[in-house]
């Protein structure tokens, strides 16, 4: 955060410029700077910043004229919802595709899915988002191109409102999950192949177990455990990917809030957004490690020893 504090101060422009006009008094700039405590030296500003940050206080947002913490918690829930929805979709489709590929291992479907997953992973999310808007919004007019709800949303019934939300979220969810599906598919498919090559699978076949029983009861449980670490990393990536997706589709989350704060030089809000994003990434990785320990007690025993 210290690096970000310095970087914001040395970047071109300033927080007070949007409040100024050639028609206004030249003393207005000084009064605005004073109201934002920007008339003090960088050292004094940094000292105050550290003292407040230790207490969890990021100051007052220049744009919203509210405490940064209040502004953040108005936008955090949607980003969390989008990230966890994206993770669920990534795991679901990655799992289904991996199982479909491993059933025909080294066959045509397996080769196609493996190559197609590499293409999915290589395409940036902003390219996917723009393409989906062009295809499904501009060309075929199937899904809305931006926003979370329609202008006449409040006139709908309860289920109509739910449907309206879902329709608006289809393209953003596809955009944020497109590359992640390929990651889960590749890791799970390789794990499944590795487990299938173990000697205990041959033993199970020799004892009359069906391929379905081997897959569901023995192969998948052993292949999923290493995937938990990937899920922790991917969840952190989803928080970052939400930034681009929310801006493209005009969604009211942390990503759009961060971009607007940067463009308007809202120093306290930029630092608050960055801090919360970092906390999300750390917590997602810690949660993945705790889940792994909960599932496999041998990991905890290894740490203790």
Least confident of 196-200, 205-209, 227-231: 227-231
Is 281:239 a contact under the CB 8 Å cutoff?
Answer: yes
Rounded Cα distance, 62 and 246, in Å: 22
Tokens of 75: 């936008």
In this structure, what token pair is assigned to residue 190?
Answer: 């390789």
Mean pLDDT, rounded, of the chain: 82
Residue 169 CA neighbour count, 13 Å, CB half? 19
Q: Widest CA span of the chain, in angstroms?
A: 90
CB 137 within 8 A of CB 145: yes
177 within 8 A of 90, measured Cβ to Cβ: yes
Degrees to nearest 5, angle at CA 154 with 137 and 149: 25
Q: pLDDT for 104-117, tens place per residue?
A: 777 888 888 888 88
Q: Is the pLDDT of residue 133 over 90?
A: yes
Q: With DSSP H G I counted as helix, E B as strand and the rest as coil, what are the percentages for the chain, rounded to 5?
A: 75, 0, 25
Highest mean pLDDT among 10-14, 28-32, 206-210, 236-240: 206-210
What's the pLDDT tens digit per position in 221-248? 888 777 777 888 788 778 766 778 888 8
- The confidence score (pLDDT) of residue 215 equals 82
Q: What is the dihedral of CA 96, 100, 103, 109, to 10 degrees?
A: -160
Q: For residue 176, which of 129, 218, 220 has the smallest C-alpha distance? A: 129
| Residues 169-195: tens digit of each pLDDT | 999 999 999 888 988 898 888 888 888
pTM metric for this prediction: 0.81
> Percent of the chain at pLDDT above 70?
85
Hey, which residues does 67 pair with through a beta bridge? Answer: 60
Q: Does the structure show a pLDDT above 90 at 213?
A: no
The model's pLDDT over 248-301, given as tens digits with 9 standing for 90+, comes to 898 888 888 888 888 888 888 888 888 888 888 888 888 877 877 776 666 555
Could you tell me which residues come within 8 angstroms of residue 218 by beta carbon, excluding any fewer than 6 positions away?
Answer: 195, 200, 201, 204, 209
Q: Which pLDDT value is given to residue 34?
A: 65
Report the alpha-carbon distance of residue 21 to residue 61 in Å, rounded: 21
Q: Is the pLDDT of residue 19 over 60?
A: no
According to the model, what pLDDT value does residue 28 have?
A: 62
Name the burial class of residue 119, with classes exposed (0-12), middle (13-18) and buried (19+) by CB atoms within 10 angstroms of its CB. exposed
pLDDT at 298: 60
**Domain residues of the chain, as ranges?**
2-54, 68-304
Is the per-residue pLDDT at 12 higher than 70?
no
CATH superfamily placement of domain 68-304 = MetI-like (1.10.3720.10)
For 158-170, give one letter per residue: b (16+ CB within 10 A) or e. Answer: eeeeeebeeebbe
């Amino acid at each position: 955060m210290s690096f970000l504090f310095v970087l914001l101060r040395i970047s071109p422009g300033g927080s007070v410029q949007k409040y100024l006009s050639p028609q206004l008094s030249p003393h207005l700039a000084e009064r605005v700077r004073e109201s934002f405590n920007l008339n003090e030296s960088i050292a004094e500003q940094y000292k105050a910043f550290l003292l407040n940050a230790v207490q969890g206080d990021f100051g007052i947002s220049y744009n919203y004229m509210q405490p940064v913490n209040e502004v953040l918690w108005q936008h955090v829930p949607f980003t969390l919802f989008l990230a966890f929805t994206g993770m669920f979709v990534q795991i679901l489709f990655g799992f289904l595709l991996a199982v479909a590929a491993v059933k025909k291992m080294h066959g045509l479907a397996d080769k196609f899915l493996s190559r197609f997953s590499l293409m999915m992973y290589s395409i940036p999310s902003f390219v996917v988002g723009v393409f989906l808007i062009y295809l499904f919004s501009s060309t075929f007019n199937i899904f809305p191109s931006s926003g979370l709800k329609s202008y006449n949303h409040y006139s709908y019934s309860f289920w109509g409102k739910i449907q309206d939300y879902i329709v608006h979220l289809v393209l953003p969810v596809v955009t944020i999950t497109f590359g992640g599906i390929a990651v889960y598919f590749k890791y799970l498919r390789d794990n499944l192949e590795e487990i299938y090559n173990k000697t205990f699978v041959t033993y199970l076949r020799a004892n009359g177990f069906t391929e379905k029983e081997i897959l569901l009861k023995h192969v998948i449980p052993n292949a999923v455990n290493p995937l938990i670490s990937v899920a922790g990393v991917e969840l952190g990536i989803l928080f970052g990917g939400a930034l681009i997706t929310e801006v493209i589709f005009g969604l009211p989350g942390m990503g759009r809030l961060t971009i607007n704060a940067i463009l308007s030089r809202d120093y306290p809000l930029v630092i608050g957004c960055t801090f919360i994003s970092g906390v999300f990434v750390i917590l997602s990785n810690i949660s993945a490690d705790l889940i792994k320990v909960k599932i496999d007690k041998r990991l905890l025993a290894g740490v203790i020893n």
